[in-house]
Amino acid sequence: MVELQADSVENATYTWFLNGTNLGINGQTITANHLGNYQVFVQKGVCSFMSEKVFVKLNQNPIAKLQQLNGINFCQNGELNASLGSSFEITPTENGSYSAKITNQNGCIIQTRTVYFSIPELPVITGEEDLKTDLFKIYPNPSKGIFKVQFPVVLTENVEISIFDTTGKIIKTQFFEKNNQEFVIDIQNVAKGMYLIRFNQNNTVYSKSIILE
C-alpha cells in the first residue's frame, strides 16, 4: 500500500480518482491499494484544478517457504536438559544460560542465541511481620492470569502490593483495603513468566513468587 497526499489548500475539498473513476474518497490523503493512475480534484469556491496522474505499482507480497520442525530441545548452561520439555515456550525456574536446538524435517540443526535468566531474590523483610507468608494463600499458582490472595483473618490495615517482572520493572500496583479477607489480582494482559508480588503493610515488606502460564 502507498499513501498519497495532496498539497494543503485552506478550505478546499478533495476528490480522488483512479483511472478516471471517482473513488468517492474525500480528504487530503489516500491509501492507494490498487494498481493504476491516481489523481485528485481540488476545489475551493469557484476555483478548481485536477492534479497530474500518479502511477502506483504495487509489489506482490513475498511468499514465505516454511519447513516443518521435527523437534525442539532446550539447553541449560550448555547442557541438554530434557526436563525443560520440547514446546515452543518454557518458564525457567533456575538461574542460568538457556538456548534451544531446533531440528527441521531435513535433519538440519539450528541453535538459537543464548539468553541468561536470573530469578530475582526475595527482598529482606524489615519491621514487625504482621503478615507472614505461611499465613496467607495465593492460588492458583501457576495461573492463567487471575490470582486469588486469601488471608486467615480480616485485614485491620490497608495493604499495598506491587508486582515486578524479572528485570525489576513494576507492572502493576494495587491496594488491598482493610475489612476484607480475600482479594483478586488480574495480570492477564502481561507476558507469561515468573513475577514477584511484594506486599507492604505499615513498613512490613515481603514478597512471594507467582508464575503466569
Distance (Å, rounded) from C-alpha 134 to C-alpha 10? Answer: 70
Condensed to tens digits (0 to 9), the pLDDT of residues 120-159 reads 654 443 434 444 555 678 899 899 999 999 888 888 888 8
User: Residue 205: pLDDT above 80?
Assistant: no
Q: What is the pTM of this model?
A: 0.40
Can you list the domains of the chain with their CATH numbers? 2-56 (2.60.40.10), 69-117 (no CATH), 133-212 (2.60.40.3080)
- How many other CB atoms are found less than 10 A from the CB of residue 100? 18
Find which of 72-81, 102-111, 112-121, 136-145 is predicted with most confidence, using mean pLDDT. Answer: 136-145
For residue 212, is it left (φ>0), alpha (ψ between -120 and 50) or beta? beta
> What's the pLDDT score for residue 124?
43
Average per-residue pLDDT in the chain? 80
Which has the minimum average pLDDT: 80-94, 114-128, 154-168?
Answer: 114-128
> What's the pLDDT score for residue 135?
61
Which residue is associated with the grid cell 502490593? Answer: 161
User: Residue 114: pLDDT above 50?
Assistant: yes
Rounded to the nearest 5 percent, the helix, strand and coil shares of the chain are 5, 50, 50
Which has the minimum average pLDDT: 117-121, 147-151, 195-199?
Answer: 117-121
